[in-house]
Amino acid sequence: MVVPMEAKVADMTNPNGGWKWSVLTQCFDEEILEHIAACPPPMEDLGDDVCLWKNNDRVRRRLTNDSSCILCGNCQETLIHTLRDCNIAKCIWSKTIATNDYNNFFDADLEDWMISNLKNQSDFGLGVVKINSDEATAESGNWSAVGGVLRDSHGNWLVGFCRFLGRGFAITAELWAILHDLEIAWQKEYTKVIIESDNKSAVAMLIDVSIGSSSSTTLVQRIKEECRRNWTVNI
Ligand SMILES: [Zn+2]
């Protein structure tokens, strides 16, 4: 018996939440079954599926032949590429690190880089979470992507995201990034947030009290709604 290519891990669980051993034992040898037994089956309550393996890992596991990055299309999509070296990630990092730290930051290997980041401190107010986001849009307008990082008052990295948006304008992508950052910050129950953006048009739209009529109006309204929640947001 062969597992269908389109099968999901969840298809291999039974209604009681356990592994579907009647199927698994027909598909895999004993060693692999032992590895599966050591893994907790997926649960619906834990949220949507997310892809954790980078393409570089997926090639090793013969899940794909393409190890390139899904955002920039270049290089091998390794962990350090996704976190730091991808053009999308670089846009974000370049706004958060000092110019004289630039070479050390981008030359370090993964382990040294992670440790260095965890030690990095830059105080900007106790209890305040700072949001930096940015977008990258192809000149052709064929694709755009956004990313963001949230840092605590000591400059420590809290959470980050990177998302492919499809076709769109730079201003729309920037607003998407800010909205997504705010949603994450609210979910994490932060109460004081500073948004930093280098997109003057986006900032102007967000601090404008009138409601415009551009294609970005819905996004602006959604961001303003987020800002009106019971917390402090400075742009
Ligand atoms: Zn990339």
CATH number of 122-234: 3.30.420.10
Ordered by start, the domain boundaries in the chain are 9-50, 52-120, 122-234
Contact 92, 148 (CB under 8 A): yes
- Among 35, 37, 60, 48, smallest CA distance to 8 is for 48
Report pTM: 0.50
Listed ranges 10-24, 156-170, 207-221; the one with the highest mean pLDDT: 10-24
pLDDT in tens, 33-76: 877 776 667 777 666 666 667 788 788 878 888 888 878 887 78
Round to whole Å and give the CA distance between 99 and 146: 22
Q: 90 C-alpha to center of ligand 1: Å?
A: 9
pLDDT of residue 182 exceeding 90, the answer is yes
pLDDT in tens, 184-232: 999 989 999 999 887 888 888 888 766 554 556 778 888 888 998 999 8
Q: 73 C-alpha to center of ligand 1: Å?
A: 6
- Among 170, 165, 148, smallest CA distance to 157 is for 148
Q: 107 C-alpha to center of ligand 1: Å?
A: 16
Q: 70 C-alpha to center of ligand 1: Å?
A: 6
Segment 73-80 shows an average pLDDT of 81
Contact 229, 187 (CB under 8 A): no
Round to whole Å and give the CA distance between 233 and 217: 19
Q: What is the dihedral sign for C-alpha 30, 31, 36, 37?
A: positive
Mark the residues whose beta carbon lies below 5 A from ion ligand 1: 69, 71-72, 86
Q: Burial code of 193-227, b = ≥16 C-beta within 10 A, e = fewer? A: bbbbbebeebbebbeeeeeeeeebeebbebbbebb
Q: 80 C-alpha to center of ligand 1: Å?
A: 10
Q: 124 C-alpha to center of ligand 1: Å?
A: 30
Q: 174 C-alpha to center of ligand 1: Å?
A: 18
